[in-house]
Amino acid sequence: MSSKKYWLIVFFTCASLNLIAQEKYLFEDIKLPVEQRVNDLVSRLTLEEKVRQMLNDAPAVERLGIPSYNWWNECLHGVGRTKYHVTVFPQAIGMAATWDDATLLQVADAIADEGRAIYNDTRRKNDFSQYHGLTYWTPNINIFRDPRWGRGQETYGEDPYLTGTMGKSFVLGLQGNDPHYLKASACAKHYAVHSGPERTRHSFNADVSTYDLWDTYLPAFRELVVGAKVSGVMCAYNAFQGQPCCGNDLLMQSILRDKWGFKGYVTSDCGAIEDFYTHHKTHPDAASAAADAVFHGTDLDCGHDAYMALLKAVKDGVITEKQLDVSLKRLFTIRFRLGLFDPLDKVPYSKIPISELECPEHQELAKRMAQESIVLLKNEDGLLPLNKDRLKKIVVMGPNADNKDALLGNYNGFPSHMLTPLQAIRERVGDKVNVVYIKGPDYVNPESDEVLEQWTAQAEGADLVIFVGGISPQLEGEEMPVSKDGFAGGDRTSITLPAIQTRVMKVLTAKKIPTVLVMMTGSALAIPWEAEFIPSILNAWYGGQYGGEAVADVLFGNYNPSGRLPVTFYEKDTDLPDFSSYDMDGRTYRYFKGKALYPFGYGLSYTDFGYSALQLPKTCKVTDKEIRIEVTITNKGKVTGDEVAQLYISHLNQNVLVPITSLKGFQRIHLNEGESRRISFLLSAEDLACVDENGNLVMIPGDISIYVGGSAPVVTSAAPLGGLKKVMTMIGQKRDLHF
């Protein structure tokens, strides 16, 4: 062979290899549009590679340089289940009790920073294991329709407006505001009509009216999909109107993709596709179930067995490979938007360092949210705040007094430092006050009168008992193997505070020992005896790493309580409809016709706020784009504090189904003692519309009552300072608007 021929062969070989290399890595060209890059990548996958990329634990495709990726990551109230120490904020229901959507956005932004820091660190170590990715399966925006649901702690409460507003803030904070890249990917779950019971969640069929669907169960999802542009949605385990949610014509196709125009990805809940053929019995096998789920737009299977059957479904002609490509393109679009295929120097979030974990700014946010979340339910005779200079002996008692697990809730991460209420109280009072710890009762286990006497005898001579009770994330949560009095399978069979705790407080009261009740819970507790006889009651939820310190801050006046209930606190079990019914009649403040023990939106302060000069138009028209409502709020007390002003509307004298009243706006404001401020709300025509029997928003002529005040304007059993008096909660002003 001549040298000329040799060099020609070398030249053409190198040129060919260069062309192949250029073609091979076309999807890595950051100058190309994301859609073109995604199309190129998907076109290069084999059928088996495609199917495996539709599993939550997507393996690497080494020949294309695609690393493995696990879609399943958690950040409900801080990056969850990771091996790193992270900032842990209050449980979601506690953050809802802040009614502080602006700070929640900052919280979500901080969580995204910590998530990116973890991802950046693990990526450098080639660690692509679970809980280190950037696709977070949160927030949970199911409506907390019944306090017995153990997972209600993961939600933002019972109201569609509050849930949608808080959820939107979380999504915007988590996903960031970069025009090209997602900081992290949020996921609205569980779509839809899903809120227990846990024991039947894999098989029950939610058959609700069209009215309830559009009036209660869908508004928050619409707000996140249309308003916040959430990048992911998780479809639920249960069926809806006879079809599994992940393969539902109405939910997945007509509403989510067509009506709302959702362009992101949908993941199944974990094992939900297997439920098609193992529990719902709507499909004969895995292949038919998987194909149907993909037809309906479920792009990712949190699981393995069901979607691996897509190989058979394609070979048998049940579904085409081209139809799989639709889902694959959605999935890879998310990964491209996260910058996972781009050079690190091109992705702004790739520079977030590991030092962001538990940084001072995030710690301050966690503390603020914990403080704001605490709801003062009762404060008779101004027992709180406590003056430590007047105390010699405090007894701290109860199952949650020294229990860190109760602070963390579920779906949680782990901080490097936190104080229990007992530890925080001791830190606040120092050596000047004798703090005696008596563990006392377990959550539910009954004890003899002799044991109760032994516990309470140790409290004699104390200036005060702080009883830190309630329930626990070890008793309520997701599909749990729990079977105790009042609890079953993660849910509750009774909303009553466990009897043993009430028995202890009855003995303390009989001994005339002043007692403060601090409750930790993920849901509403029925406490009619305590509301009557315990002078001061705090609801502290599962407060995160600063939950114990926030309790101490409120008890000793370092923070003026400002939390508001995101759920109704009912008086007794018989106030509730059947748990398995999804009919909203008789549920939540919007449709409950009884007397609440503590109503939705309720919460006291160490100061008093007054409302005056409510101003609104006398009439409005369909053509009005917005209606301005103004009111003056005054701090009439002697303590600086926050007030949560809430606006509700009620349609009067209507012969169609409408809520008793509905939240349509809220503002958290800070007022110094004696300070007044005039605030305004803007209501749109949509805010004043009603849902008709076909699920459409319609304007109905008539009178609309506008109320602005400190809680929902509903009948309650507890007067503002406690006691079982039947009063209307009207700490605000009310006017009528003619439409």
Does the pLDDT at position 585 exceed 70?
yes
**Res 4: pLDDT:** 47
**Res 739: pLDDT:** 63
Scan for tokens 């970069």, then name that residue.
Answer: 178
**Res 731: pLDDT:** 55
Contacts of 457 by beta carbon, 8 Å cutoff, 6+ apart: none
Where does 569-673 have alpha helices with state H? 588-591
Does the pLDDT at position 19 exceed 50?
no
Q: How deeply is 599 buried, as exposed, middle or buried, from its count of CB atoms within 10 A (0-12, 13-18, 19+)? A: buried
Mean pLDDT of 30-49: 98
Mean pLDDT of 163-169: 98
How distant, in Å, are the alpha carbons of 103, 104, 183, 211, 335 from that of 349? 21, 20, 6, 43, 14
**Res 623: pLDDT:** 67
Mean pLDDT of 205-220: 97
pLDDT tens-digit profile of 338-356?
999 999 999 999 999 999 9
**Res 151: pLDDT:** 98
- 14 pLDDT band, cuts 50/70/90, is very low
Does the pLDDT at position 724 exceed 90?
no
pLDDT tens-digit profile of 488-519?
999 999 999 999 999 999 999 999 999 999 99
How distant, in Å, are the alpha carbons of 3, 23, 394, 435 from that of 510? 108, 83, 18, 22
Nearest to 687 by CA among 664, 662, 713: 664
Mean pLDDT of 68-89: 98
Scan for tokens 């398995």, then name that residue.
Answer: 580
Positions marked active-site: 269, 476
Nearest to 141 by CA among 274, 265, 208, 232: 232
Does the pLDDT at position 179 exceed 70?
yes
What span, in angstroms and rounded, lies between the C-alpha atoms of 644 and 628?
18
Instruction: Average the pLDDT over each of 139-143, 191-195, 693-697, 723-727 and give the range with the smallest value.
Output: 723-727
DSSP of 621-643, one letter per residue? -TT-SEEEEEEEEEE-SSS-EEE
DSSP of 307-343, one letter per residue? HHTHHHHHHTTSS-HHHHHHHHHHHHHHHHHTTTTS-
Under CATH, which architecture does the 366-574 domain have?
A: 3-Layer(aba) Sandwich (3.40)
Identify the CATH assignment for 609-738 out of 2.60.40.10, 1.10.3720.10, 1.10.357.10, 3.30.2130.30: 2.60.40.10
φ, ψ of residue 651 to 5 degrees: the values are -85, 125
Nearest to 662 by CA among 680, 648, 651: 648
**Res 718: pLDDT:** 61
Mean pLDDT of 257-277: 98
Question: Which tokens go with 449?
Answer: 């009168």
Identity of the residue numbered 192: A
pLDDT tens-digit profile of 616-659?
988 877 667 789 999 999 999 999 999 999 999 999 988 889 99
**Res 28: pLDDT:** 94
Name the 3-class secondary structure at 399.
Answer: coil
- 52 pLDDT band, cuts 50/70/90, is very high
pLDDT tens-digit profile of 658-705?
999 999 999 999 999 999 999 999 999 889 999 999 999 998 888 999
Q: Is 27-356 assigned to CATH 3.20.20.300? A: yes
Does the pLDDT at position 219 exceed 80?
yes
**Res 726: pLDDT:** 32
Q: How deeply is 54 buried, as exposed, middle or buried, from its count of CB atoms within 10 A (0-12, 13-18, 19+)? A: buried
- 727 pLDDT band, cuts 50/70/90, is very low
Contacts of 581 by beta carbon, 8 Å cutoff, 6+ apart: none
Identity of the residue numbered 237: Y
DSSP of 215-280, one letter per residue? IIISHHHHIIIIIS--SEEEE-SSEETTEEGGG-IIIIIIIIIIIS---SEEEE-TTHHHHHHHTS
Mean pLDDT of 59-71: 97
Q: What is the pTM of this model?
A: 0.95
Nearest to 414 by CA among 103, 108, 77: 77
Nearest to 358 by CA among 81, 89, 74: 89
pLDDT tens-digit profile of 515-539?
999 999 999 999 999 999 999 999 9
Does the pLDDT at position 95 exceed 90?
yes
Name the 3-class secondary structure at 369.
Answer: helix
Q: Is the peptide bond before 139 cis (omega within 30 degrees of 0)?
A: yes
Contacts of 9 by beta carbon, 8 Å cutoff, 6+ apart: none
Q: How deeply is 700 buried, as exposed, middle or buried, from its count of CB atoms within 10 A (0-12, 13-18, 19+)? A: middle
Cβ atoms of 89 and 77 within 8 Å: the answer is yes
**Res 110: pLDDT:** 99
Mean pLDDT of the chain: 94
Q: Edge-to-edge strand order for the sheet containing 626-635?
A: 609-615, 626-635, 676-684
**Res 216: pLDDT:** 98
**Res 734: pLDDT:** 78
| Residue 31: Cβ within 10 Å count | 6
Mean pLDDT of 419-429: 98
